[in-house]
Amino acid sequence: MNPYLYLIIDLLSFSVPFIYSFERKRIHFIQYWKPYFGALLLVGSIFIIWDVFFTIWGVWGFNDDYLIGWRIATLPIEEWLFFLLIPYASNFIHYALVYFLPRFGLPKSVARFLPVVFGVVALSIAIMHFDRLYTVVSFGLFSILMFLQTYYRPPIFRTYMLSFLLILIPFLVVNSWLTGSFTNEPIVFYNNTKNLGIRLGTIPVEDFFYCFSLLYSNILIFEYLKKRFGYQQIDSGEPTE
């Protein structure tokens, strides 16, 4: 057992995107640190509260064999770092893509109806499985986000949906590691009475919707703060048809 494993996963996931954030000739993402870390703290605080209560209620838990042992409000310090480092690393991928491929994105017609379909399906799943707490909250929050997308139509959705498909590659590696694909026991374990019991490898299906809600919420708040405080846009968020 390695008590530093979760910490190592956090730091490795963050290190390369963070180093490239200082690259001045192109994206130079570190120049946006104030609005982006503002978004991280705002969204992260909501998800941390969610995380604390789900840990207390036994929805999931953490294997002490892979932790350094420091806890704050029932959560290991590695989990606190997760909400700062992983969204940064993941969403850096999105902004790198829109910088180097400014024309990529969903057609406007697809971007209009897709959130409606996603929202209806996710809400239906949440209602049908109301006795499964993780299912209700993860699908329910995702459906709310999709209905808000349908109403307000922030244009960045057109690029972010495609970026998310690429983000899923490191997500699958990291989450598989956390849920036991490469270790004798999972670092993060789940109570299957609180979820659907459907897994992709070792990853509960709810994690994919949890992940999207966390990352896309960060993006939306970041974009708002960036405009609010007059930062130069990385991209318009509106690819050509």
pLDDT band (50, 70, 90) for residue 149: very high
Two tokens at 64?
Answer: 């002490």
pLDDT digits (tens, 9 = 90+) for 55-66: 999 999 999 999
- Alpha-carbon distance of 13 to 151, in angstroms, equals 34
CA angle 66, 132, 39 (to 5 degrees): 60
Closest CA to 106 of 45, 175, 28, 158: 158
The count of other CB atoms within 10 Å of the CB of residue 82 is 25
What is the per-residue pLDDT across 168-196, written as a single tens digit (0 to 9) for each? 999 999 999 999 999 999 999 999 999 99
Query: Per DSSP, what are the bridge partners of residue 204?
Result: 199
Number of C-beta neighbours around residue 19 at 10 A: 10
Rounded to the nearest 5°, which phi and psi values hold at 204? Answer: -60, 140
Q: What is the mean pLDDT of residues 33-47?
A: 94
DSSP state, residue 231: P
* pTM confidence score: 0.92
Per-residue pLDDT, averaged over 134-160, amounts to 96
Does residue 103 register a pLDDT over 70? yes
DSSP assignment of 22-39: T-TTTT-GGGGHHHHHHH
Question: What number is the average pLDDT over the span 42-69?
Answer: 96
Tell me the β-bridge partners of 189: 61
Q: Are 187 and 180 in contact (CB under 8 A)?
A: yes
Q: What are the φ/ψ torsions at residue 61 (nearest 5 degrees)? A: -155, 180
Alpha-carbon distance of 222 to 216, in angstroms, equals 10
The residue type of 100 is F
**E-assigned strand segments in the chain:** 60-62, 71-72, 75-76, 188-190, 199-200, 203-204
